[in-house]
Structure 1
Amino acid sequence: MKRYTLPVAITALLLAFWFSPDAQEIAAGVAIFLFGMLMLEDGFKLFGGGALERLLERATRSTPRAISFGILSTSLLQSSSLVSIVTISFLSAGLISLVGGVGIIFGANIGTTTGAWLVAGLGLKVDIAAYAMPMIAISIVLVFQKAKLLRGIGYALGGLGFLFLGIHYMKEGFDAFQDQIDLTRFALSGLLGLVIYSLIGTTATVVMQSSHATMVLILTALAARQISYENALALAIGANIGTTVTAIIGSLGANFQGKRLALAHLIFNMTTAMVALAFIAPLRDMVDKISDLVGIGVADYALRLAVFHTVFNVLGVALMLPFLTRLIAFLERRMPEPIPDVSRPRYLNEAIDEFPQTLESALRKEVFHLYENAAELILHGLNLHRDAVFATSDVAALVRSSRRPLELDLNEAYERRVKTLYSGIVEFASRAGDARVDPDIAQRIYALRDVASNIVQAVKSVKHLRRNMLRYTVRPQGAPTELYDDLRTQIARIAVEIRKLSLADPQDRSTLWFDLERARIEEDARSTAQRVDALIRKRELSAVAATSFMNDAAYAYGAMRELIEAARRYYVERDSSVAEVEQILSLDEEELKEAMTSTGATPAPKDPVTRLS
């Protein structure tokens, strides 16, 4: 079916142009208007710098604030579709609650009515094309500037210019129709007219992917007296239904939370539309009274339509708000949270790709998901239960008592629970790097990818030492068992300390701890080597067992270094002022060498740390 959609649409347009040249002006007006909306959205994304995302996080702390944010943001951006997509993106990334997301959708439906007021009150009564031309000309100069802020302003200014120009051409096209075709001959009254024109409004919005563009088309046609006032009301109701399609499409790549929000959007708009259709006569009387009260002329149907659009959307919110809790409960029952599959990415989906704040936040959560999987495999690979390790106050005693081998295919578990996630993270980071994001955000995204690499390397190291570890720790065998138990204890201790970091407040984390821990690892590596030498001389350890152990010790200390480096990159605060203080407190390379020398340790060679440009 999709294969024929484009040819049919183009053929229909060409036929319309053939039979009525004036249809070209209306079609061009719609196209220019939609192009202006795209430019406006691109401009916002370019110079917004994550401002909307940051506001969105703060605005969902209560339902009234979420609704207010939806009204304000949609009024400023003149695109409820963009606000809906941003909200789905944040909800999918787990940054806002479902209640907050639904509140924003409620507010966006009210905010989108401001577009009708602008068009009816200004666009149809002023020669806005005269303002559009200079705006477009200035915007082109700004678009070609290197500064991102100026380019963003240029796109936004050009978008507004094309919006104005599109309205002008739609108005001119419908005015020209008056001399050729009287579309009011197709007007339908009564219930049949309400149903048919509501469906037409829905279809037009689905095709154009913009209820705002549909409302402009309705208003310009109404101003040119090409449609009746009654049919225009039905078209406006249909446009509200059609706007949910954008949210539904945006939710296709989202997780279950994004799909819940899209369903809430559909339920809200359908309920509002049904109530408006059922009570169209009382609503029209209310609109007339309000219009008379504020001085809107009896024959000014365009402004009266703007009043109607606002009234039925506000009434829809007032109707649904008392049932918000029940709506959320219904959504959660209808779309239950799936049983988490630890082997698949939880937060990386297409719905979050458009906005920089969600890119970084979702990736950060996914990297932590990878670490949780990896920590469990590392501890189980050492024959230790993760929950027992995190619950004990004496890790060494727990290690000595853990002799029974755990049923675990570490290679299979690595492929399923670590490698698959890591592949998803690498692919996502590359995709995010290709997107138009701030260099600082791109740098942090690549840094998170490197954290994932550290984690994966730690798991690989444990894979290498597991065979000999099982050989010497399932039953006591003297010195080799004690040596391997010490390695198990040290790795488990690192896992416990990293867990404490995850539970600590950000201000309580210091880079000094990482440097001291790194020094301790190097000291332990040195003392372990000296201990092995002493055991060989005492003939308590054979040369063969010593060789195997030294290789395994290299893997174990490599895993510890990778885990410490991953924790450093993940948990150190990004705030510049905090980072500066931490840098003063942290040990530099010379101080680290002095600390290790004072304990008799020698720095061991480390893998080079990737430096981001």
Structure 2
Amino acid sequence: MDYGFYDILQLLGSLGLFLFGMKVMSDALMSLAGDKMRKILATMTSNRVFGIFTGFFITSIIQSSSATTLMVVGFSNASLLTLTEAISVIMGANIGTTITAWLITILGFKVSMSTIALPLVGLGFALTFAKKQNLKNWGTFIIGFAVLFIGLQFLKDAVPDIRQNPEILEFLKRYTDLGFWSVLLFLFIGTLLTVIIQSSSATMALTLIMTAQGWIPFPLAAAMVLGENIGTTITANLAAIVANFHAKRTARAHLIFNIIGVIWVLVLFYPFLKIIEWLVSLTGAESPYASAAAIPVALSLFHTTFNITNTLILVWFIAPIAKVVEKLVPSKLEVKKEIDEPKYLNKEIIKYPETVIFSLLKESKYLYENAVFEIVTHALNIHREDIKSDLKPKEIIKKSQEDFGTDVRNLYYNKVKTIYGEIIRYATTAQSTLKMGKSQNDQITNIIIANRKMVEIIKAVLEISINVSNYQNSENKHMAKQYDKFRKKMAKVLQIIYLFRTKDGKEEHYAKLLKLRHAAKEGKYQTTRSINKLISENLITPEMASSLVNDKDNLNETIKNLISVAELLYGDKDSLLENGD
């Protein structure tokens, strides 16, 4: 056979051109619709049918099951998707990837794309000069689409024709006449090729060309397609190596789902192929057993039928598959981090806007609930458990009369400063490096504002805490009473915020918070009158009055900031920015 080193390089170059076209097309589609696709994926419900349609829809649009599964792994890593949700999306992605096979079969074999491929490149290139980014992306997509089919044409020309090289058939006959062992061998070849090329679409294209050229019969080509279904799971498993156990479980679930599908098809292999032959005959086409030209359509039909049937069968076993995966990949206790280390921020979350927003929000909520909430309550000598209880603010203050001796500054440096710095760093990095829409940018801005307000809260309570310790049990009953009023007001605000973020009836609690914020804005005028009265009656010294004025202002500012933080981190809408505050 006259097929030398140069011909092998031509074959590899054709394959590279095909893969490059696929990547350019997929990347352009991700730019056009990626943010919408990720938003759908990030906000999906636990409904498995919806999950399957989501996976199918996203993969059909972006033309890459690998991109979909990588998104699913990334979202699982950030805990945006549960394991059952991730499995259902992957099931849909497996069906969605069959669209690519039909695209190659219909346009690559039934229609001559090579005649219009270069004009398409010209059109796409012209669009890349457009001012609008969307038009530029469409131009890139058209270029990728055309290059893909140019690569496919080169690939078809680079593969030696069996009629001109009959010795190829002699070589292959050694492996095609082994009965069911041949099926297993070509299944392995399909898996290996997909692992090496890292694209099931490219392996599918090669398989279709080999069948069209008469290299291998229909059953062995179908075996290769089954192998491609196993090989395509490698991408997700490689991505999950450095991820947490959630992502590893998702990747393993993808592998298990495809392996189960391949096993049952192998058991019913020949009857299943007969069903495909019957379906092909319904279209009026020749049998794939009799004509090599009929194999590409039959193979695409086999690919689609297999994935749809496999999904329809295994959709009822998502929970058992999840349990198996949970046993294979046990949950690991996260390495206990130092008190001043972020819990949810790592380099993996910076891949997608959705994962970084979700993780920043979780980290900010954790900071509020485990550091800021403690600092504010303890600075005012209030027990956190009392705030979480059904006690009324008046009862909480009566119960808490001892001085906690809280070192606010030390708590800030140990529990807040480093994490606050990391939140701001990740937030600003995401805004400067990731392509985000206005809504996503606003969400990150809200998180930054919330964290800055938390730092302002700590600075304010630091000032208040000094005088709370001095005057709470003071011999001057008027001063003790005033500071108990401060503590009571703060207890009320913290209690409603706790209910707002943890209990039902969000709207009712939110309405109360808005009233408290309004009262805090008006509070400074009431302060002046009450303090003037205490001074005029010689009940407090001017020095005490000065402390009261400053602390009342600090208290009102702290209350407004606390309500803003609750609104930004736990609210459904951002009335803070809506009000231009």
The aligned residue for residue 284 of structure 1 is 273
2:123 alignment partner, one of 108, 120, 138: 138
Matched residue of 2:57: which SS?
A: helix
Matched residue of 1:48: which SS?
A: helix
For 2:38 and 2:556, the matched residues in 1 are separated by: 41
The aligned residue for residue 562 of structure 1 is 561
The aligned amino acid for 2:493 is I
For 2:507 and 2:147, the matched residues in 1 are separated by: 48
The aligned residue for residue 104 of structure 1 is 89
The aligned residue for residue 452 of structure 2 is 453
The aligned residue for residue 425 of structure 1 is 423
The aligned amino acid for 1:445 is I
1:103 positional shift: 1.2
More deviation, 79-88/559-568:
559-568
Q: Is 1:520 paired with 2:507?
A: no
Q: Is 1:200 paired with 2:189?
A: yes
Provide TM-score, normalisation by structure 1. 0.79
* Cα-to-partner distance string for 1:134-182 (whole Å, 9 max, x where unaligned): 2222222222323222123223222222222222221121146875695
The aligned residue for residue 143 of structure 2 is 158
Structure 1 segments unaligned to the other structure (5+ residues) = 1-17, 589-608
Alignment of 1:440-519 (within 5 A): 440-473=439-472, 478-502=477-501, 514=514, 517-519=516-518
For 1:156 and 1:328, the matched residues in 2 are separated by: 37
Alignment of 1:386-397 (within 5 A): 386-397=384-395
CA contact (8 A) 1:432 1:442 kept: no
* Cα-to-partner distance string for 1:282-334 (whole Å, 9 max, x where unaligned): 43344334334443433223233223323333343244233222222334454
The aligned residue for residue 305 of structure 2 is 311
2:400 alignment partner, one of 399, 402, 418: 402
Alignment of 1:179-218 (within 5 A): 179=164, 183-184=168-169, 185-186=171-172, 188-189=175-176, 190=178, 192-218=181-207
Q: Is 1:67 paired with 2:67?
A: no
Aligned CA-pair RMSD: 3.8
1:478 positional shift: 3.6
CA contact (8 A) 1:60 1:96 kept: no
* Cα-to-partner distance string for 1:512-539 (whole Å, 9 max, x where unaligned): 964x544422443454466556556666
2:330 alignment partner, one of 312, 327, 335: 335
* Cα-to-partner distance string for 1:55-110 (whole Å, 9 max, x where unaligned): 43676452223223323332333211122233334444555443232112112112
- 1:261/1:545 Cα in 2 relative to 1: closer, same or farther (>3 Å)? same
For 1:469 and 1:243, the matched residues in 2 are separated by: 64
- 1:425/1:76 Cα in 2 relative to 1: closer, same or farther (>3 Å)? same
- 1:292/1:522 Cα in 2 relative to 1: closer, same or farther (>3 Å)? closer
CA contact (8 A) 1:92 1:347 kept: no
1:268 positional shift: 0.8
CA contact (8 A) 1:296 1:303 kept: no
* Cα-to-partner distance string for 1:4-61 (whole Å, 9 max, x where unaligned): xxxxxxxxxxxxxx94222233222222222223223332332227332344367645
For 1:229 and 1:567, the matched residues in 2 are separated by: 63
For 2:441 and 2:230, the matched residues in 1 are separated by: 38
CA contact (8 A) 2:496 2:513 kept: no
Structure 2 segments unaligned to the other structure (5+ residues) = none
1:23 alignment partner, one of 8, 11, 29: 8
Q: Is 1:222 paired with 2:211?
A: yes
- 1:159/1:376 Cα in 2 relative to 1: closer, same or farther (>3 Å)? farther
* Cα-to-partner distance string for 1:449-486 (whole Å, 9 max, x where unaligned): 12211122213433454455345447887444334333
Alignment of 1:7-46 (within 5 A): 19-46=4-31
- 1:406/1:91 Cα in 2 relative to 1: closer, same or farther (>3 Å)? farther
- 1:519/1:305 Cα in 2 relative to 1: closer, same or farther (>3 Å)? closer
For 1:283 and 1:409, the matched residues in 2 are separated by: 73
More deviation, 190-199/153-162:
190-199
For 1:403 and 1:426, the matched residues in 2 are separated by: 37
The aligned amino acid for 2:229 is N
For 2:182 and 2:408, the matched residues in 1 are separated by: 67
CA contact (8 A) 1:255 1:349 kept: no
Q: How many pairs were matched up?
A: 564
More deviation, 410-419/114-123:
410-419
The aligned residue for residue 248 of structure 1 is 237
CA contact (8 A) 2:345 2:360 kept: yes
More deviation, 362-371/258-267:
362-371
1:256 positional shift: 4.1
1:402 positional shift: 0.7
Q: Is 1:369 paired with 2:366?
A: yes
The aligned residue for residue 320 of structure 2 is 326
The aligned amino acid for 2:385 is D
The aligned residue for residue 597 of structure 1 is none
For 2:318 and 2:199, the matched residues in 1 are separated by: 26
The aligned amino acid for 2:237 is I
- 1:437/1:482 Cα in 2 relative to 1: closer, same or farther (>3 Å)? same
The aligned amino acid for 1:260 is R
Matched residue of 1:144: which SS?
A: coil
Matched residue of 1:305: which SS?
A: helix
1:217 positional shift: 1.9
1:262 alignment partner, one of 245, 251, 256: 251
CA contact (8 A) 2:471 2:480 kept: yes
For 1:385 and 1:51, the matched residues in 2 are separated by: 45
For 2:275 and 2:231, the matched residues in 1 are separated by: 25
1:558 positional shift: 3.9
CA contact (8 A) 2:30 2:62 kept: no
For 1:262 and 1:94, the matched residues in 2 are separated by: 14
The aligned residue for residue 12 of structure 1 is none
Identity of aligned residues (%): 27
The aligned residue for residue 73 of structure 2 is 88
* Cα-to-partner distance string for 1:538-558 (whole Å, 9 max, x where unaligned): 665566666666665555444
- 1:145/1:22 Cα in 2 relative to 1: closer, same or farther (>3 Å)? same
For 1:346 and 1:292, the matched residues in 2 are separated by: 59
CA contact (8 A) 1:46 1:148 kept: no
- 1:569/1:355 Cα in 2 relative to 1: closer, same or farther (>3 Å)? same
Provide TM-score, normalisation by structure 2. 0.83
* Cα-to-partner distance string for 1:329-359 (whole Å, 9 max, x where unaligned): 3344543375797966565555554444454
For 1:529 and 1:242, the matched residues in 2 are separated by: 75
1:395 positional shift: 1.0
The aligned amino acid for 2:381 is N
CA contact (8 A) 2:60 2:96 kept: yes
For 1:397 and 1:101, the matched residues in 2 are separated by: 48
For 2:443 and 2:320, the matched residues in 1 are separated by: 40
For 2:47 and 2:286, the matched residues in 1 are separated by: 36
The aligned amino acid for 1:469 is V
1:396 positional shift: 2.9
